[in-house]
Amino acid sequence: MKFFIDTANLDQIKEANDLGILAGVTTNPSLVAKEGVDFHSRLKEITSLVDGSVSAEVVALDAEGMIEEGLELSKIAPNITVKVPMTLEGLKAVKAFSDKGIKTNVTLVFSGVQALLAARAGATYVSPFLGRLDDIGQDGLHLIDEISDIFTVHGIPTEIIAASIRHPIHVSEAARRGAHIATLPSKVIGQLVKHPLTDKGIEQFLADWNNRS
């Protein structure tokens, strides 16, 4: 499983990139709004920092509008992936982008069948939202099993991005259950690195080293 970061914040992207683990970035309208910056200029900055896929979401609700926005976004850099919501209009847009060789990430996926439809329309990636399912008392991770099984049985090449990740168990389980990518909030990257026994071990090694005779 590869790692993307789920943010539009440049410092967080640079920090994750320096760790050598970053294969891409996902953004969404809420994350971009939080930064208070121009969307296209921020995408330009992100794509110049990161070689992998950078997902940029359309906000139009009709296919024509989505296609118009997505075409503009895809001109920003060759590594832009157009992020499209999982709707009937979204599927039409995905088909149009796929015909033009433009990569797509179908977002707000909450069922296996939605993922299958997105894949059949030509999606490069599907983004099942784990945390938001957990929030309403459903099992977000079960959705990874479901999509992974469907894609395996039918030999579908669309990649699964485990999204709406809230904690390290989401990440380890998504990897175990067949997600190709996990898109991580910066906070979760920090949590994944940390282990109390690692910290305790370093402390002990240093203490022993400083007390050497």
Catalogue the active-site residues. 83
6 binds ligand E4P (CB under 6 A): yes
* Token pair belonging to 106: 């179908």
User: Which of 114, 129, 140, 170 touches ligand E4P by CB under 6 A?
Assistant: 129
Could you give the CA distance from residue 105 to residue 98 in angstroms, rounded to a whole number?
A: 11
The pattern of x and - marking residues 109 through 128 that bind ligand E4P according to CB under 6 A reads: ------------------x-
Q: With respect to ligand E4P, which residue has the nearer C-beta, 67 or 163? A: 163
CA distance 140 to 181: 15
Among 85, 81, 98, which Cα is nearest to 26's?
81
Evaluate whether 160 touches 181 at the Cβ level (below 8 Å): yes
| Site size with ligand E4P, rule: CB under 6 A | 11
Residue 198 CB, nearest distance to ligand E4P (Å)? 27
Separation CA 183–CA 159 (nearest Å): 12
DSSP 96-153: HHHHTT--EEEEEE-SHHHHHHHHHHT-SEEEEBHHHHHHTTS-HHHHHHHHHHHHHH
Does 131 engage in binding with ligand E4P (CB under 6 A)? Answer: yes
Give how far Cα 195 sits from Cα of 1, 20, 172, 199, Å.
Answer: 21, 20, 14, 7
Closer by beta carbon to ligand E4P, 7 or else 148: 7
Pick between residue 53 and residue 148 the one whose CB is nearest to ligand E4P.
53
Binders of ligand E4P among residues 10 to 49 (CB under 6 A) are 26, 28
Among 2, 92, 120, 132, binds ligand E4P (CB under 6 A): 132
CB of 7 to ligand E4P, least distance (A): 9
Structure-block tokens of residue 121: 């329309």
Position 104 contacts ligand E4P (CB under 6 A): no
Query: Rule CB under 6 A: is residue 159 a binding residue for ligand E4P?
Result: no
Collapsing DSSP to helix, strand or coil, 195 comes out as: coil
Which of 164, 171, 180, 189 binds ligand E4P (CB under 6 A)? It is 164
Shortest Cβ 133–ligand E4P spacing (Å): 10
Task: Give the separation between CA 187 and CA 185, rounded to whole angstroms.
Answer: 5
> Least Å distance between CB 90 and ligand E4P?
14
Q: Which residues bind ligand E4P (CB under 6 A)?
A: 6, 26, 28, 107, 127, 129, 131-132, 163-164, 183
